[in-house]
Chains A and B, each alone.
Chain A
Amino acid sequence: MSTRPKLTVDANEGVANVAYRLNEVMAIYPITPSSPMAEFCDQWVSEGKKNLWGTIPSVVALQSEGGAVGSVHGALQTGSLATTFTASQGLLLMIPNMFKIAGELAPAVFHVTARAIATHALSIFGDHSDIMACRSTGWGMLGSASVQEAVDFALIAQAATLRSRIPFVHFFDGFRTSHEVQKIEMLTDADLRALIDDKLIAGLRARAMSPDRPVLRGTAQNPDAFFQGREACNTFYTACPQIVQDAMDQFAKVVGRAYKLFDYVGAPDAERVIVLMGSGCEAAHETVDYLVKKGEKVGVLKVRLYRPFDACKFVEALPVGVKSIAVLDRTKEPGATGEPLYQDAVTALAEALMNGFGKLKTMPKIVGGRYGLSSKEFTPAMVKAVFDNLKQKQPKNHFTVGITDDVSHTSLPVDPEFSTEPDNVIRAMFYGLGADGTVGANKNSIKIIGEGTDNYAQGYFVYDSKKSGSMTVSHLRFGPEPIRSTYLVSRANFVACHLPMFLEKFDMAKPLVPGGTFLLNTPYAKDEVWAKLPTPLQKSLIAKKAKFYVIDATKVARDSGMGGRINTIMQVCFFALSGVLPRDKAIESIKYSIKKTYGKKGEEVVAMNLKAVDNTLEHLHEVPVPKNANGSGGLLPPVTPNAPQFVKDVLGKLTAGEGDDLPVSAFPVDGTFPTATAQYEKRNLALDIPVWDEKICIQCLKCVAICPHATIRAKVYESAALKGAPAAFKSTAARVPEFKGMSFTLQIAAEDCTGCALCVDVCPVRNKTEAKLKAINMRPQAPLRAQERENWNFFITLPEFDRRKLKVTQLRQQQFMRPLFEFSGACSGCGETPYIKMLSQLFGDRAVIANATGCSSIYGGNLPTTPYCVDKGGRGPTWNNSLFEDAAEFGLGFRVSIDKQKEFAAELVKKLAPQLGDDLVNGIVNAGQTDEAGIYEQRERVAALKQKLAKLDSPEVKLLLPIADMLAKKSVWILGGDGWAYDIGYGGLDHVLASGRDVNVLVLDTEVYSNTGGQMSKSTPRGAVAKFAAGGKPMGKKDLGLIAMTYGNIYVASVAMGAKDEQTLRAFVEAESYPGPSLIIAYSHCIAHGIALDMGVGARQQKLAVESGQWLLYRYDPRRTEVGENPLQLDSQAAKTKVQDYLLSENRFKMLTKSKPEEAKKLFAQAQVDADRRWKFYQYLSGRDLKSGAAPAAPSKPSATADQQP
């Protein structure tokens, strides 16, 4: 019996554990799904954990993966054991240095969670396209198929690189392996020591650059030398496979698990063999075991060492009698003769027969196929389909499996009923709400079972692409044998629905096996719940003879002090009903685990969880399943009935969770999708929605401005338009003098609201007789849903007010503009989206948006539906996301291209003057387009132009027509977060700002990498705790605005809508009107700050930040210098409160006082100094009188009164 610790971890944690112990320097950068490895390492450093040699490694976070790999290269060249963790685009950014590192034979292992590369779309999920993109770098490539293998290969790769001097990419499948929780055996220090020879490390040191024994590397070589030099490394590559095998053999001796470069599993006399690598090997292995037992002559060859590819070993590993081979690639190489692994296999076999190595006498039939791109499911049924294909006389080549390709007809038919799952595996599915703790509890259950029994355990978690109200589906398996099912549970013994709302949307009982158990969290009593279920669910439960249990977990949670966290309660129910463990033992284990998990967070947290455990069982009830269905109706349609056909047929399917059923023909060929589709997906997330009190509303429209999801709208209209209004539709007289005599309505999109309550918080009005009420108040959604749906539908038919007549710098007028960004998937209470919405209101009809990857690209552009939308005329923002790092350059490309086309169009217009008439030509060419009216008129002129052109025919006309629209103003916007602007995209941003071109940059500054889970950026303020800054960020925030101002010709604004909304509005209007580069840095509160986002406090936090001097409001307008004015206007007032008052109101700062109190004291004091200094400096800059050239008066203290601002 092994004494190695058994852990239930995912591969990220397991691999990081080994990599940390085997390295001295780690240069890191976050990218999904590899980020947790870097986070673990950074955290262990802050905890003082030592590596194998008894020293704490150095971890340094860089500005990009390009930076990280550069630092690793440097560390390697100076003799350190160095590593990094990455995936996808990150790995691509490392390629140039990877060539160098391999060229210099510097030993290193990079751990890569293999992930799709963005092509027609971005995907965070797993496939091998990133790995394949760097196969020419000269790196060894070792692929793991499971969590255990990933841990093992992390060591084997390190041993191999030190021995061979060839650097290695150790890869495992993103999410499927990186995030799959499995019970594994962790390697001990003794295991590591047994394989790692310190003499080889001494060799690394001896080869290192040192001025004590100087050498020169990185020379430039000419034709006379380069080629020979490049070939000089060959012997290392020839020797490498055997070195890896030796390391594997030694590992087997020490640890007991044996691996081969190519591991064959299956019938010794197999005739049909599948070749593949990565997590798919496990599903294939499971299927082969099943089929071989049934007498089929099949096998699977798992490729471990992909580079250097040992053709001889590959052929030798194949069974002698193999007649047909399918090589499966988890990548696509359009235009190639086949995908890479297939090509390697064909070449190896051809060479084997040509040169006589291996045992094969004749060339087997060999076909290649693609599977599992972007974590598409790869199941035993698909493996079976591949074997069935190999049975054919002419097996289909270059096939796909797992999709329906009705365009090129590449796909293989798959039998959906085929399953290999044995009866002794308990399979459970849990449908949870993101915020309810379901996933955490399930991870905990796996630990309890994995570590407390001899059972094997597996957990895999599917998350939503929306950030608010998201559903999580946990897939758990427990069984006596190792679990190789690297695919989702589709036949569950136990299904739990943690949120009753899901019942309306999905057929929960679909995956349930006959006789299985269905558990529902519901507020209804056991004798009334049945009638409340949708009919299809009732029918399923009856047909499957299911056991049905209910609990009001929400009530039990509330009574136990757990708030909305029902995790512990549902966990107890699972253990009570599933029978995985005896009930008493299970309860005892849960309690032990609660104490272990929450112990350090204090006795109260432990106590409330224990109380929840004790309160659960008495509230768990079985509901007898009647014979007949008499339910509450069918499932809700995924999109509204008025949705266009494409939305219904394609996006609706995706919304309903049935995207896997869509064939290839359903999709656009180039990744182009319509906008304005979010309006059809009614998510009904909010338990409470805002309700307008028209009697006391002052019509300031602050609520409209702050609403992150554009669900609060205001219109002014002639009263006659009210004809036909629903009875409950509210209307009152407009208060703004300009709209005297008109009617005013504030309407809430009840079905799109996420219930964040930001609107209530910013409402400045209080009810005179009951001060707790404002002009907008939260009320339960359910009873209002139907009425407000009708009101909303009427409201959107009311005419929009003429944009030309609105004062755009007055919020109470500007907010009548229709948002062209609505109902996004951003977090409830998001601090970023109000800015984008404002942009879309002001300029959406002419906006071309380049969006850096990040939160804004996910809620802005993640399928199924799209929040960017169109106005009545069909105009609206056009949007694209290139990469994380290049949004500025991408946007500059838009600008240059649009300007060029506009210039060319104007040239053509002038050429065509005789036919078009001088008036029209002059009007078009000299159009001002500086305001709404000017743009409107130009659009009219362009329309007239197009009408005229339609009647003309000449080469110029043909050239002009397609670009005539470019004559009307186009506003280029570059959007991104601080991770982009301050770090990875900074070089490009700086260059684009310096270009002088008319682009507008909006930095949604959350001061942290929000989308990837809260890693520090250079915008993170001093003292904030973030990942990669676990001990509090010691450095202050970079002043991006100040840097930009040094150019002198860039419009720069620093804004915080929650603090001063009209200053934000002015900044947007000025930035866009400035005919050069503009930069708006927008303070965006964020869930990663640790604030009660769902309680609507975001705007208050912005205000606090400004009032404490932590965030400055200013506008720097170069145009002011032309009239002799100081370009910098400081819009903040002197600090009213201490910085610490603000810091202690956010968990990101406050938690430092709990984790490192001394450090917190020091950093918070420095933060005050930062704020004081910044205030003085800005006051000095803005106070200079440029007209007289006089120096300003001495800067006053930050505690000066408000009226001292310039």
Chain B
Amino acid sequence: MDLTTTYLGLKLRTPLVPAASPLSEEIDNLKRMEDAGASAVVLYSLFEEQLRQDRLELNHYMESGTFSFAEALTYFPEPEEYHLGPEDYLKHIANAKKSVKIPIIASLNGSSPGGWTQYAKLVQQAGADALELNIYYIPTNMNLPAGEVEQTYLDVLKAVKAEITIPVAVKLSPFFTNFANMAKRMNETGADGLVLFNRFYQPDIDLDTLEVKPNILLSTPMAMRVPLRWIAILYGRLKCSLAATSGIHRASDVLKMLMAGADVTMLCSTLIRHGVGQISVIERELVAWMEEHEYESVTQLKGSLSQKNCPAPSAFERAQYMRAISTYSVP
């Protein structure tokens, strides 16, 4: 069975790639992922904002309350050096490269124009095979037109592409007025791949404390419907690779995504829930299904039910159930 696929120009053994998650913080986990059959791995994200926040916070607490009281002029020893930059992350990339043979895709969330490019360069220098830009931005300013928001995404991508030579994927949210147009412009700006979609932390209300508490829920298979739709729509219309993420838990989900047109399927919640070994389970089931249904390769599957290739293309555009549509078309 030929499971190989190409993603961001990388030739991969299978379409099964662990998505960015805390699982990739441990080198041992990366080894386990490789052993379980992961064909590449996206590392957890380097958050520029987090680094920035950490630096300000550390400075605040080191200075807070100092030189106020004669007996306690300070409260903490002052270390000779701090690891406040991305060094740990870069070291992790290098260690990952040393420890596993599969491609390592770094993930970056920048917060300043300089930050995106600076960190992207460092990530490349550290040996990453590709970079996933984890761009998310929730505009709440009522005076900010959508066009400007979209341009910000494109500017980031453009700046990063100008600085590095490794392939760049962009992980996006579906919240654009015309996502297809956005995807097209991303493609034109040089994205080597699109990762659909990012699942943010979403706010929740705690009824006991009456507080708003952002949290993340592990995905359910339901979550795969949105990327499924858009991958199917985009398949064959863009040059860049397409990665499916969100709600992919079983081999059947992988199959659906591949049929819609994904080059790779990214796994996260299922690995957190069932362990890294789940990758091999999915692969086994995938092979079994393909064998049972006499498919030869992933290539054969890919896009076979995309909007372009499916029997009812309008199904991917439908937003409401309309009884009439299947029996009658307006002349």
Binding site for B on A (CB under 8 A): 32-33, 35-36, 39, 42-43, 46-47, 124, 175, 179, 434-435, 437-440, 461, 463-465, 467, 470, 472, 563, 565, 598, 600-605, 766, 771, 827, 858, 1010-1014, 1025-1027, 1030, 1087-1088, 1090-1091, 1093, 1147-1148, 1150-1151, 1153-1157
Contact = CB atoms under 8 A, between A and B. Distances in A.
B214 interface: no
A833 to B, nearest CB: 15
B76 interface: yes
Contacts of A1154: 54, 58, 79, 82-84
Interface of B: 51-52, 54-85, 88, 209-211
Nearest to B65: A1087
Given A33-B70, A1027-B76, A1030-B79, 13 more contacts: A464-B68, A465-B70, A470-B68, A600-B84, A1013-B71, A1013-B74, A1025-B76, A1088-B75, A1147-B62, A1153-B83, A1154-B79, A1154-B84, A1155-B82
Contacts of A1012: 71-72
A984 B204 CA distance: 49
A1087 B64 contact: yes
B64 A771 contact: no
A175 B54 CA distance: 35
A1027 B73 CA distance: 12
A1010 B66 CA distance: 12
B54 A32 contact: no
A474 to B, nearest CB: 9
B55 A36 contact: no
Contacts of A827: 65
A124 B71 contact: yes
Contacts of B68: 434-435, 463-464, 467, 470, 472
B69 A437 contact: no
B67 A1013 contact: no
Grouping DSSP codes into helix (H, G, I), strand (E, B) and loop, the B interface class, with mixed when no group exceeds half, is loop
A32 B71 contact: yes
B22 to A, nearest CB: 12
A119 B54 CA distance: 47
B329 to A, nearest CB: 51
B67 A434 contact: yes
Contacts of B79: 46, 1030, 1151, 1154-1156
B81 A437 contact: no
Contacts of A440: 63, 66-67
Contact of A601 (B59, B69, B70): B59
B78 A43 contact: yes
Contacts of A46: 77, 79-80
Given A440-B66, A472-B67, A604 B73 contact: no
B76 A1014 contact: yes
A861 to B, nearest CB: 14
Contacts of A467: 68-69
Select the residue from A563, A600, A1012, A1148 with max chain B CB neighbours within 10 A: A600
Given A601-B84, A604-B56, A771-B210, A1027 B67 contact: no
B56 A605 contact: yes
Contacts of B85: 602
A1151 B72 contact: no
Contacts of A1148: 76
A437 B76 contact: no
Contacts of A1150: 58
Nearest to B70: A463
A82 B60 CA distance: 37
Contacts of B77: 39, 42-43, 46, 1025-1027, 1030
A175 B70 contact: yes
A604 B54 CA distance: 10
B69 A1014 contact: no
A605 B63 CA distance: 12
Contacts of B57: 1147
A464 B84 contact: no
Contact of B52 (A602, A1010, A1014): A602
B82 A601 contact: yes
B59 A32 contact: no
B58 A1151 contact: yes
Contacts of A1153: 83
A440 B79 CA distance: 17
21 contacts: A32-B70, A32-B71, A46-B80, A440-B67, A463-B68, A465-B70, A467-B69, A598-B59, A601-B84, A604-B56, A766-B209, A1013-B71, A1014-B76, A1027-B76, A1091-B61, A1093-B65, A1147-B58, A1147-B61, A1150-B58, A1154-B83, A1155-B83
A437 B73 CA distance: 11
Select the residue from B60, B62, B76 with max chain A CB neighbours within 10 A: B76
Contacts of A175: 70
B112 to A, nearest CB: 10
A18 B293 CA distance: 81
A1155 B73 CA distance: 21
Select the residue from B52, B54, B62, B64 with max chain A CB neighbours within 10 A: B64
By Cβ-Cβ distance, the 7 closest A-B pairs, closest first, are A434-B68, A602-B55, A1013-B72, A439-B67, A1147-B61, A1155-B79, A1030-B77
Contacts of B59: 598, 601-602, 605
B67 A437 contact: yes
Contacts of B54: 1154
A64 to B, nearest CB: 17
A1010 B209 CA distance: 33
Given A437-B63, A470-B69, A1013 B82 contact: no
A919 to B, nearest CB: 56
A463 B78 CA distance: 22
A1013 B73 contact: yes
Contacts of A1088: 72, 75-76
A1156 B79 CA distance: 9
A10 to B, nearest CB: 10
Select the residue from A461, A771, A1155 with max chain B CB neighbours within 10 A: A1155
A124 B71 CA distance: 8
Contacts of A47: 80
Contact of B71 (A437, A766, A1011): A1011
B56 A1014 contact: no
Given A467-B69, A1013-B74, A766 B210 contact: yes
A233 B14 CA distance: 86
A169 B309 CA distance: 92
Given A434-B68, A463-B70, A1090 B80 contact: no
A33 B55 CA distance: 31
A766 B207 CA distance: 11
A435 B64 contact: yes
Contacts of A439: 66-67, 73
A565 B62 CA distance: 13
Contacts of A563: 60
A1145 to B, nearest CB: 11
A858 B71 CA distance: 10
Select the residue from B58, B70, B77, B83 with max chain A CB neighbours within 10 A: B77
B185 to A, nearest CB: 32
Nearest to B73: A1013
Contacts of B210: 766, 771
Contact of B88 (A598, A1011, A1157): A1157
Nearest to B66: A440
Contacts of B71: 32-33, 35, 124, 858, 1011-1013
A1013 B59 CA distance: 17
A827 B75 CA distance: 13
B52 A604 contact: yes
Contacts of B75: 1013-1014, 1087-1088, 1090
A179 B58 CA distance: 26
A114 to B, nearest CB: 15
Contacts of A1087: 64-65, 75
A461 B62 CA distance: 20
A949 B71 CA distance: 51
A473 to B, nearest CB: 12
